[in-house]
Amino acid sequence: MENKLPGNILLIDDDLALCDLLEEYLTRRGHRVWPRQNVADARELLHEQNIDIILTDLNMPGTSGIDFCAEVHENRPDLPVVIMTAFGSLETAIAALRAGAYDFVTKPVDLDLLAISLERALQHRYLQERVRLLKDQVRRQQPDSELLGTSSAMAAIKEQIARLADLDTSVLISGESGTGKELVARALHRQSRRADGPFVAINCAALPENLLESELFGHVRGAFTDAREARKGLFVEASGGTLLLDEIAEMPLALQPKLLRVLEDHKVRPLGGSNEIDCDVRVLAASHRDLGEAVKTGRFRNDLFYRLNVIQLELPPLRERGSDILLLAQSFIQALSQRFNKSVTGLAQPAAACLLAYDWPGNVRELRNVIERALVLSRHDQLTVEDFPESMRHPSGDAPLPASLTDGGQILPLEEMERRYLLYVLEQLDGNRTLAAKLLGVDRKTLYRKLKED
């Protein structure tokens, strides 16, 4: 019967029998409970203990539960308050919500419904705290630091960057599109002894073969029809610094031998020229494709692959970076709010949960686009689930059904299929029933009832 997310609960009610009942019940569920019979004692406790949630009666001698809720909301807006009342009218509910209450339950108290309300409030409190900590982490980042992230996956990447930065050898940076390969290349450059030299990047897929050759190696005047002036080329421009060859797998096969020669001799011959020019440059390469597979299919030279792949640094996809998603989202919110002159300060709890539940096939680039779109559309000081694209709020696709939803190819009764699907969704959302109900388009009570049905 232990609660999934235990917390420290301040319980305020002048009914001693009810206090004893609730204290015993909530303690059995794994919570730690501090019962108090009046608001004055409750205020004193708040200064002494780290409280996660307040559960208070509406009508008490002296200060009412509504007034105390308004007081807490003004001084501690991060602390959720659940109000108990024997007067379950619409006017009471409105008064409680206006005072800043997270929820209210009616007396006589239904213990199961109370447990649900407290679990939701604690999840809200927990996620709010995570978002607050992530805001602090964003503020503590160095101004020029672009590689945000505290996950173990990103910690390993940062450690590798620190070890590789000064080795002055070729590094192949691999990873899915949108994972930040150019940011890693810039970090390698910034932490190296070449940091005072230029950082030059080129996308090998963005130019046709003849222009790419001229862009990389330069050309002399008259080398081709439009070559009215000589051009040094990026290898020479990056001399003393770092050159990033992005999307290296797309480099035309005919140019690969010339690139290999430059890497081995550190000399470049401009297009149409007869003299070689020295170039002291560190070459980094990046690709979202499997270069080893490209070698097997003959689209990439084996010798060039080994010359570039002295050390490989593989970036993790965003879906494997845990709460880095919220850290990055908060960073984008701060930067884009200034750019668009918006007053958005962060994420509402359901929105944060939605970001964590999404698979992010486009990785960090997709996350930035989602935040930018949401921020432009938002009318509130926090982004909500409704600000996100429909595909995130109600994900769908043509993926095959998980094994847990099938029964060896047999046709299942509709009720059993529905029950299995509900359990599958909950599993994907780490048991977050509130978010599951939102994503499934049903209210919480309907979800709970369906889960209880045999």
Does pLDDT of 63 surpass 90? no
User: What is the tens place of the pLDDT at every residue in 379-412?
Assistant: 888 899 999 998 887 654 444 445 555 555 555 6
Highest mean pLDDT among 125-129, 185-189, 432-436: 185-189
Pairing of strands 32-36, 81-85: unpaired
Over residues 243-268, the mean pLDDT reads 93
Q: What is the mean pLDDT of residues 110-119?
A: 90
Share of the chain above pLDDT 90, in %: 37
Q: What is the pLDDT of residue 140?
A: 46
Q: What percentage of the chain exceeds 70 in pLDDT?
A: 84
Confidence of residue 254 (pLDDT cuts 50, 70, 90): very high
Dist CA 228 CA 398 (whole Å):
54
CATH architecture label of 403-452: Orthogonal Bundle (1.10)
Q: What's the chain's length in residues?
A: 454
pLDDT over 90 (residue 352): no
DSSP 30: T
User: In the prediction, which pLDDT does 145 show?
Assistant: 47
Do the domains at 152-315 and 319-393 have one common CATH topology? no
CA–CA separation, 320 and 340 (whole Å): 30
Q: Where are the alpha helices (DSSP H) in 222-378?
A: 234-237, 256-265, 291-296, 302-308, 324-340, 349-357, 363-377
58 or 4, which is more confident: 58
Q: How far is CA 194 from CA 172, 181, 280, in A?
A: 18, 19, 10
Q: 96 or 40: whose pLDDT is higher? A: 40
Tell me the mean pLDDT in the region 158-164. 91
**Beta carbons within 8 Å of 284's beta carbon, 6+ residues apart:** 170, 171, 172, 173, 185, 188, 189, 242, 243, 244, 245
For domain 8-138, give the CATH superfamily.
Response regulator (3.40.50.2300)
Q: What are phi and psi of 374, to 5 degrees?
A: -65, -40
The domain limits of the chain are: 8-138, 152-315, 319-393, 403-452
Q: Name the band, by pLDDT with cuts 50, 70 and 90, for residue 143.
A: very low
The SS3 assignment for 228 reads coil
Strands (E), 227-281: 242-246, 267-268, 277-278
Lowest mean pLDDT among 90-94, 122-126, 157-161: 90-94
Check pLDDT > 70 for residue 46.
Answer: yes
Q: For the chain, how are helix, strand and coil distributed in percent, rounded to 5?
A: 50, 15, 40
Domain boundaries 152-315, corresponding CATH code:
3.40.50.300
Does 22 have pLDDT greater than 50? yes
Tokens linked to 198: 């230029």
Cβ–Cβ < 8 Å for 224, 271: yes
What architecture is the 319-393 domain classified under in CATH? Answer: Orthogonal Bundle (1.10)
Distance CA 381, CA 347 (A): 9
pLDDT digits (tens, 9 = 90+) for 167-181: 889 999 999 999 999
CA distance 148 to 329: 10
pLDDT, residue 400, reads 44
pLDDT of residue 410: 58
Band of pLDDT at residue 90, cut at 50, 70 and 90: low
Query: What is the arithmetic mean of pLDDT over 190-206?
Result: 91
Q: What is the mean pLDDT of residues 232-259?
A: 93
